[in-house]
Chain A
Amino acid sequence: MSGAGRETAWETVIGLEIHAQLATQSKIFSGSATTYGAAPNAQANLVDLGYPGVLPVLNAAAVRMAVKLGLALDAKIAARSVFARKNYFYPDLPKGYQISQYELPIVAQGQLTIVLEDGTYKRIGVTRAHLEEDAGKSLHEGLPGVTGIDLNRAGTPLVEIVSEPEMRSAREAVAYMKKMHTLVRYLEICDGNMQEGSFRCDANVSVRRVGETKFGTRAEIKNLNSFRFVERAINYEVQRQIELLESGGKVVQETRLYDPDKGETRSMRSKEEANDYRYFPDPDLLPVELDTAFIESVRAELPELPDARSARLAGQYGLSAYDAGVLTASRELADYYEETVRLAPQDPKLAANWVMGELSAALNRDNLAVDSGRLPAARLAGLLTRITDQTISGKIAKEVFEAMWADGASADEIISARGLKQITDTSAIERVIDEVMAKSPAQLADYRAGKDKLFGFFVGQVMKATGGKANPAQLNELLRRKLGGG
């Protein structure tokens, strides 16, 4: 964003349409598998291919998952929802229509709370969430002059979550999308894999003069599949619209595509021509009717949701709201943390620092998930126990952690194999201090003449001589006394 003046003159308005692929075994209207990465068209059956005469039958798990999401968003679950056909021609859309929900979606009027950068909360309205089928994929690379169509993805269940236009910056949009990402994974209704397209969004972006009550003309940026792209695409688009409007131009309502290589959005006029989707109720499917008993049975399956868990963690373990938020950003991370604390209950804050610090850094570095099994919570708990019982210092613990990470051994095995056990024997530490003082008469004289800073020099020398194993607190106390001539 350039120009502070501009930011005060213009207000950004963003609404997101998030597409989350539901984690069902089979497709929404057929018994084909939904596994990612199969050979082309190996998972497209007659229904997915739109063969003449075939008919759709709705997957119960997809309905359950949509209801789960609705309950977690504190939304209204429709007692009666209706599938409609969205008609348009495209090679990856086998039937010439997409089965979706239009006038009567399964979920309506929900909300999601996000935390802003200043720590305040903001509630974003969720207009609706509806069930629909995904389209297939068009492949262009390596096929001269032609496009190849793979319909494995066709018919994969999606829930499209439409927000109110209530976000006012790219950061807010990202916070909302991240929060929704956390939620669908807590609910285990979506694997959240953005690279594979399981979680993606379209952003509706417009700007208006501050104080204006009417919305500006919006552009829809299609198919954003990373948080970073969402932020960059929106920022680019906001800037583009402001520049356009300030130079006397007009924003055109259109679909745009974000080009991550160039960092810009561009018009997709090819898809725009005279779209008229001719929605009408799908006569092959009947209204979906859900009674209270069904909805309550789904509610009973709901896990502890991120906001509730975050609040509980903060209270139960004395963590800051920020730390609790980080730890509950994924269900797996929170599970890991709580398992660690269960096994090493002495210092939950210490555990939080290690999980958010060393552990997260190592996972990131090696591109591993927290539940990858690389370092089970019991192992980390073993290490934390040795810190709190003073067997090792925090500094040595980092070395032990790296060794645990590298070879999978337990903290105790590494401590004993490497002789890292902390020296807590006063006379042993005193002996080393005496040796160091004897070897450094000049520094000793300077220190005693008032050069306090040299205290650190002596700490370093003792640590060096003990291989870092001297108990730091004891060392400090003994050194201060001896250097002072005591």
Chain B
Amino acid sequence: MALTREQIAGIAYLARLDLTPGEAPVYQESLSRILDFVGQLARVDTASVAPMAHPLAGLAQRLRADQVTETDHHEQYQANAPTVAAGLYLVPKVIE
């Protein structure tokens, strides 16, 4: 499963990762090899097997009572934010 340079660029775009010109061929090579490696799964007969999304089969989602338990801590939470103003997180202008 050899990935093309364009596919690597497409994956990096979907994942929002800037790759340097040096990194792209490295990932092209290693991702292709990883896909070859995991590709051996295709040979396994799983026709009648349900996918297992979770290690503890048979457990169901627990439900939380509908109660407000939180208070306003936005200043504390925003201490980690690169840029904020008037309680808002700021990003470069988003054009709709």
A residues apposed to B, CB below 8 Å: 24-26, 30-33, 38-46, 49, 51, 57-63, 82-83, 89, 91, 138-140, 143, 145-151, 257, 268, 270, 274, 276, 278, 281, 283, 285-289
Contact = CB atoms under 8 A, between A and B. Distances in A.
A47 to B, nearest CB: 9
Given A268-B96, A274-B14, A26 B67 contact: yes
Nearest to B63: A60
A315 to B, nearest CB: 38
Contacts of A40: 74, 86-88
A89 B54 CA distance: 25
Given A49-B77, A286-B59, A147 B90 contact: yes
8 contacts: A32-B70, A39-B87, A44-B77, A57-B64, A83-B61, A145-B93, A274-B10, A274-B14
Contact of A146 (B54, B69, B92): B92
Interface in B48-87: 53-54, 59-70, 72-74, 77-78, 83, 85-87
A399 to B, nearest CB: 49
A257 B68 CA distance: 35
B63 A281 contact: no
A286 B54 contact: yes
A59 B64 contact: yes
A146 B93 contact: yes
Contacts of B87: 39-42, 150
Contacts, number: 126
| A contact face: mostly helix, strand, loop, or mixed | loop
B37 interface: no
A188 to B, nearest CB: 13
B61 to A, nearest CB: 4
Nearest to A22: B66
A58 B88 contact: no
B89 A149 contact: yes
Given A140-B96, A143-B88, 10 more contacts: A38-B72, A40-B88, A44-B77, A57-B62, A59-B63, A83-B61, A145-B93, A149-B90, A150-B88, A286-B59
Contacts of A270: 95-96
B58 to A, nearest CB: 10
B88 A149 contact: yes
Contacts of A60: 63-66
Given A31-B68, A42-B72, A150-B88, A276 B14 contact: yes
A288 B64 CA distance: 12
A143 to B, nearest CB: 7
B63 A58 contact: yes
